[in-house]
Amino acid sequence: MDSNRPSIQFFEGISEELSDVSLRRHQGTGVRTVLMKFETLKSIERFRSYTNRFANAMRLVDSEGEINVEPDSVKFIFSGPEGDDLERVECRFDIARDDHWERFMRFMHRYAESNGMAYGEPNQN
């Protein structure tokens, strides 16, 4: 893995692929909520989680360094005929401080650019 390429890791050394991210700001408090979605988790699929050290947080790594995030919630959504096919994982956390938000956004811009993602407004129906 290229050490300059931004990565998201639940287990040290196993980079996960983000499939979607949603950013919201609470009107009353100004606290920002991030919801990251992963359609697959390499650490689960390869069972490497048992041989690699758990990071105790989600690690966001880029050229600026490392951000350790302790998610407020992590949901595993299963589907399939037996209900045991991993459909996606949703990881939610809040960011209250402006300087933490700015650092997170720098990471997200680098991650998006490196992985061919683009920013888009949600559809308002």
Of the candidates 61, 60, 79, 81, the one whose C-alpha atom is nearest the C-alpha of residue 71 is 60
Any idea which architecture 7-115 has in CATH?
Beta Barrel (2.40)
Model's pTM, two decimal places?
Answer: 0.78
Residue 2: how many CB atoms within 10 A of its CB? 7
Which tens digit of pLDDT belongs to each residue from 38-47?
998 887 776 5
**Tens digit of pLDDT at every position of the chain (125 positions):** 456 799 999 888 889 999 999 999 999 999 999 999 999 888 777 654 444 555 567 999 999 999 999 999 888 888 888 888 888 989 999 999 999 999 999 999 999 999 998 876 666 55
Q: Domain coordinates of the chain in residue numbers?
A: 7-115
